Amino acid sequence: MTVTTNTDFIPPENTVVVSTHNDSIPPEQAGTLYGLFQERLKRSPQHTAYRSYSNSRKEWYDISWQEVAIQVARWQDALAKQNLAPGDRVAINLKNCKEWVFFDQAAMGLGLVVVPLYPDDRPDSVAYILQDADVKLLFLQNAAQWKRLEPSLTEAHNIQRVIINNYDDEVLSDPAIYAKYWLPSNSGAIHASNAKPDQLASIIYTSGTTGRPKGVMLSHYNMLSVAASSLQYIDVLPSDIFLSFLPLSHTLERTAGYYLPMMAGATVAYARGIPQLAEDMQYVKPTIMIAVPRIFERIYCRLKSQLSTKSFIAKALFQTTVTTGWARFQHQQGNCKWQPSFMMWPLLEKLVASKVQERLGGNMRLIVSGGAALPLPVSKLFIGLGFCLLQGYGMTETSPVISVNKPDSNDPASVGIPIPGVSVMIGENDELLSRGPGNMLGYWNNHKATAQIINTEGWLHTGDQARIGKNGHVYITGRIKDILILNNGEKVPPSDIEAAILMDEIFEQALVVGEGESHLAALLVLNADHWFSLAKEHGLDVFDRNSLANKALKANVLQRLRSLLHDFPAYAKIRRVTLMLEPWTIENDLMTPTMKIKRSKVLEFHQAEIKEMYR
């Protein structure tokens, strides 16, 4: 058993070194997440805190920390009248917006425990969480959300008040009320707080790819420590603008896209949504963006698709730019010698790279990817075009960052180096274990599950297989539970193959099967936008479901897969496919709110198709 710790920094127990930047707030000074907000208010009351878009005025506008404090005080005054005691749970189910912050800070300032919910989650899943956490007060986006949820609530629920953020003409009945009627018109100063750093701050329910979601209990210090340690690797300035679109109910966005910029004094702009993301980037011109790999995969596929229609010269110029940019990056990382081709970079950047950079606003100096593995070809494309793209790794149970690449020590094939204060080791079956100040307090009302994931020495079992390089970088090699064992004994990690398949834009979703079989097969959801051209190419009726079983079409798909999987060993090739158009979604209970496919449920749902592939 090999043990490794971050050699750059070996902290005394329960302490974290923070950025040396003058405006960064140390965890010890903040004390709690509410204390972090109070200190930020004290330091930069007139600095822009948040940037939002007004649908009514059709324009963007800013609010300062002083204006945030006025709103937090209003929410505190209203919450204080609800007969809630410190430690009571209150839930929030909102899209990213400034009101998320108002509610979160107001609740924590009163000693309440915040339970974030995913806006797109199913009503039955939300109802389960509300009951499991014994939530007393619920904050929702709109009346339609409440209308969908209400039938799933029972007498076992103890919700005393439901606050609706967006006002409309829908008449509400008790316990629901619009925020505009519930909030006082004026308020006093923000409340003082007696909370301690190690107190429970939030219960965040995991995605639940198998079974019911579990409530991860995180303290104030858990998230503060991770935000502060991350600032040791990533320099964030008060002049920085974060673009926030990954849900705040996602721990990565909450810690790194909310508390971290507050700690550093940066501004956060709330995107209107994925459909308007490109337009928002043009206006906001963000300098830092945190996202999951699927966002970058979509941009990658779109660029490849657009490039396919260009001339030979345009294709060659683009490829030369990416190849040269990647080589320059490797040289900067100390992995290769200087090359004469680097002299071409200023011209290549002007002709090609800058055009792509402008699509992301033109000021992007740092991109962080987390939540899942980022395919290496995607990393190479972005880095080759001049972006500083860093991949990180972690879990909700670790608040969530365990490791992240540094700009001056960036290996895109890895998930980075453990952040200061975090130690990692390789356990049995090559499992990565982690121990640090971000490790959760435990699972809510589930001591058995807590004991299964955290051992008596405080090491948390990630469930991921890994190796640790000589440079201290962590390399994820597989998932312990997500390994397919063929009947010849070969072990295949399906996630790697699925990631490679999704590099082709005609595939929207993929799930590889083959446990106990002689070969692999795949369930493939086709991209609806490309189905029409694909069907036309094969002379098929786009509205006839039988077209998906066409032999020529399947042969074409298998040929595409052979090209995509040419670097995989022979036993990892796909021999059979089932094509479909209906995606796996949160609504049909085949995907989690964090966009992870519920593998076991998809297998059960499509058992007939799988059986046919192996008939």
CB atoms within 10 A of CB 429: 9
Amino acid at 344: M
Prediction pTM value: 0.85
Q: First vs last Cα of the chain: how many Å apart?
A: 44
In tens, the pLDDT along 322-334 reads: 999 999 999 999 9
pLDDT at 33: 98
Q: What is the Cα–Cα distance from 590 to 584, expressed in whole angstroms?
A: 5
| Whole-number pLDDT of residue 39 | 98
- Whether 2 contacts 425, CB under 8 Å: yes
pLDDT of the residue at 14: 38
Q: What is the model's pLDDT at position 502? A: 93
Answer whether the bond into residue 346 is a cis peptide, omega within 30°. no
Q: DSSP states of 208-219 as a string? A: -SSSS--EEEEE
Per-residue pLDDT of 546-580, as tens digits, reads: 999 999 999 999 999 999 998 787 778 899 999 99
- CATH top-level class of 484-613: alpha beta
Query: For the chain, which residues score pLDDT lower than 70?
Result: 1-22, 207-211
Instruction: Give the domain ranges of the chain.
Output: 33-195, 484-613
**33-195 matches 484-613 in fold:** no
Q: Which fold has domain 33-195?
A: Rossmann fold (3.40.50)
Q: Are 389 and 367 in contact (CB under 8 A)?
A: yes
Q: Tally Cβ neighbours within 10 Å of residue 446.
A: 15
The pLDDT, as a whole number, for residue 498 is 92
* pLDDT score recorded for residue 83: 94
CA dihedral 489, 490, 495, 498 (to 10 degrees): -120
SS (H, E, C) 542-554: CCCHHHHHCHHHH
Encoded tokens for 220: 């104030």
